[in-house]
Amino acid sequence: MDVTEVPVSQDNKGKSKKNKKPKNKRAREEEHGEAEPKDEKMEQSEGAADISFPPTFSVSEIKNKQRRHMMFMKFKQEKRKQKMQLKKKKKKEREALGDKAPPKEVPKTIENQRVYDETTVDPEDEEVAFDEGTDEFSAYFNGITNPKVLITTSDRPRGRTVRFCRQLATVIPDAHVYYRRGLALKKVIPQCIARNFTYLMVINEDRKVPNGLVLCHLPDGPTAHFKVSSVRLQKELKRRGKNPTEHFPEVILNNFTTRLGHSIGRLFAALFPQNPQFVGRQVATFHNQRDFVFFRFHRYIFKNEKKVGIQELGPRFTLKLRSLQKGTFDSKFGEYEWVLKRHEMDACRRKFQL
């Protein structure tokens, strides 16, 4: 078989040359030996470019859940270490400077950035002292009358609400729990006044959970309506103490600074006798923070001259004031002193009502 050679045309040679990438100026100079020495700055920049840094990424971009959790925990540990090192460094500097050390920085919180309220109460004000001596609660603080509380519920209460009422009766001295029996509050109030009750407390519920509290002072009012949340009964508390004793507890009221807060604080304080029995070592606390009133009930013990141990007895719950009404409960024709307008009053996070 004869093999014939096919001559390569000039056009094909041109195409093959076109396919080759043209050499840059630097490469052509190196072939001909005309390359110039590089500057030092150029060498440094090229050396820096050769170093490969890891790409910036967030932990949330990691798709593996376990890996993402592990990286996040490492990131938190590193951040905590840096914070502790900075704290130790500042402490050493302060010890070295001694009396010349600058004052500690006060952290910014919503509480200390609070908008000033014109109705803030001054304890030494003569007008406030006069009001305290002539208001509805003055007889309790002067020791003339003792509180007597009736606790009831909404119609057909469930087990959790009933247990909550019974535990409140162990906290408040001389408190009695009665079944509602479908009676309207307008019929209940005259019966309470006839039996010398000074307070009517109604626990409302929704979906088997306590969600509201109406506190009516008898016989002339005022009446406060609260939203109830975060209810924890005695058995649900960890490391709780034994059941409360019958001793009269001490009462602590915190941060009721405005005129409205002052009246609400006195409304709570008048629930308890004003001669606490210190032998029982029991304390009922109403702590107001950002218009939420946190209730806690503790027993304390003195370990030595400086240390005190406390033990929560329960129950615990949180209150949010909805309205304050003059006189006894009247939903139709009652005159309201204050009503919560959520979209107007809660617009500014640094303005509080209590």
pLDDT above 50: residue 15: no
**Cα(117)–Cα(115) distance, integer angstroms:** 6
User: How high is the pLDDT of residue 29?
Assistant: 53
pLDDT above 60: residue 132: yes
Of residues 4 and 234, which shows the higher confidence score?
A: 234
Of residues 192 and 32, which shows the higher confidence score?
A: 192
pLDDT above 50: residue 53: no
Backbone angles phi, psi at 3, to 5 degrees: -105, 125
The partner residues of 319 in beta bridges, in order of sequence, read: 228, 293
Helices (H) and strands (E) in the chain, counts: 10, 11
Q: What is the pLDDT of residues 317-330, one digit of tens each?
A: 999 999 999 988 88
User: How high is the pLDDT of residue 114?
Assistant: 87
pTM above 0.75, yes or no: no
Confirm if 253 and 268 have CB atoms less than 8 A apart: yes
User: What distances in angstroms separate CA 62 from CA 25, 58, 66, 69, 70, one per listed residue?
Assistant: 44, 8, 9, 9, 11
Give the closest residue to 290 by CA, choosing from 78, 49, 109, 104: 109
Q: What is the pLDDT of residues 177-191, one digit of tens each?
A: 999 888 889 899 999
**Cα(37)–Cα(49) distance, integer angstroms:** 19
User: How high is the pLDDT of residue 18?
Assistant: 46
Backbone angles phi, psi at 92, to 5 degrees: -65, -40
- Percentage of residues in the chain with pLDDT exceeding 90? 47
Structure tokens at 11: 């056009």
Three-state SS for 49-70 is HHCCCCCCCCHHHCCCHHHHHH
Give the closest residue to 270 by CA, choosing from 260, 284, 257: 284
